[in-house]
Amino acid sequence: MASVAPAGAASFRPDGVRMARRKRLRLATFTVNGIAARLPHLLEWLARERPDVVALQELKAVDEGFPAAELEAAGYGAAWHGQRSWNGVALLGRGTVPVESRRGLPGDPGDDQSRYIEAAVHGIVVAALYLPNGNPRPGPKFDYKLRWMQRLHRHARSLVGLEHPVAMVGDFNVIPTDEDVYDPKAWRKDALIQPEVREAWFRLLDQGWTDALRQVHPDARIYTFWDYFRQHAERDRGLRIDHLLLNPALAPRLVDAGVDRWVRLREKASDHAPTWVELEAG
């Protein structure tokens, strides 16, 4: 498997053959909270779960700091958009190099934060996005979050109706409902739960996007983030804020979805866990 891969695109061929024979395709999003600090976890998770497409958020690294060689040795091609200290997004393809179609969310030429990248991977147009946190509220950061959601709404409208399969995935920093947080009262003042943020979320869904985790698990308590305080990960006191949205051309292929919580329970873990969907082959 991964250990056979030397440098160069041709090295991807063995994994590509395996891909072609697999009936299903796994698409995952993982908000890593520092790609340099999290590389051992990322490589362990890739080897164990073998996702075919991966969106990464919160790289916290400049472009030159992205571990492209290590990921290629693990069997993954990549497209990435880094930034010093904060933000940063990437897309990985197992046995293939993502074909980048866009970096940066349109609608504000003055926005220099690396929060959006889009590429074709394994026959799907995938957007990896890192929506602004928005705290503290009120203030300029919350205003920036709302404007960013407006821009996302406009751009998503150009993607949702395509006949081609499209997925928008990543850290949305939105708690959609009170079923998506261990204690709504504890978060009532937070930017992630505000009514206008939730309204923007559901306006986005109303374009025709499927919230894959909720589609598969309508009533379950599902979390993708647990903060570092008070042993919240061990006690499963979390939030559902990492999401996978599928357009109507892709949603009928959805067969399963879940969260790899074991990654969050590792020592020195990110505060987010990988979240995934399983799709029938196109």
Tell me which of 116, 223, 225, 276 binds DNA, using CB under 7 A: 225
Of 15, 52, 171, 271, which residue is the catalytic one? 171
Distance of CA 89 to the CA centre of its chain: 9
Count of Cβ atoms closer than 10 Å to residue 48 Cβ:
11
Q: Which amino acid is at 104?
A: G
- Does residue 192 bind DNA (CB under 7 A)? yes
228 is a catalytic site residue:
no
Count of Cβ atoms closer than 10 Å to residue 35 Cβ:
23
Nearest approach, Cβ of residue 234 and DNA (Å)? 11
Count of Cβ atoms closer than 10 Å to residue 17 Cβ:
10
Tell me which of 22, 34, 183, 203 binds DNA, using CB under 7 A: 34
Count Cα neighbours of 94 within 13 Å in the Cβ-side half-sphere: 23
Listed in sequence order, the DSSP H helices in 55-187 are: 68-73, 140-160
Distance of alpha carbon 282 from alpha carbon 259, whole angstroms: 23
Strand pairing partners for 254? 279
Binding map of DNA across residues 36-75, x = CB under 7 A, - = no contact? xx--------------------x-xxx-------------
**In contact, 131 and 171? CB cutoff 8 Å:** yes
| Site size toward DNA, by CB under 7 A | 32
Count of Cβ atoms closer than 10 Å to residue 104 Cβ:
17
- Does residue 195 bind DNA (CB under 7 A)? no
Distance of alpha carbon 251 from alpha carbon 167, whole angstroms: 9
**In contact, 54 and 26? CB cutoff 8 Å:** no
Tell me which of 51, 67, 95, 132 binds DNA, using CB under 7 A: 132
Stretch that binds DNA, among 18-26, 153-161, 212-220, 224-232 (CB under 7 A): 224-232
Of 52, 130, 180, 190, which residue is the catalytic one? 130
171 is a catalytic site residue:
yes
- Does residue 180 bind DNA (CB under 7 A)? no
**Closest to DNA by CB, 143 or 227:** 227
Nearest approach, Cβ of residue 146 and DNA (Å)? 14
The catalytic residues are 130, 171
Using CB under 7 A as the criterion, which residues of the chain lie in contact with DNA when the complex forms? Answer: 31, 33-37, 58, 60-62, 84-86, 132-133, 135-136, 141, 171, 173, 190, 192, 225, 227-230, 239, 241, 268, 271-272
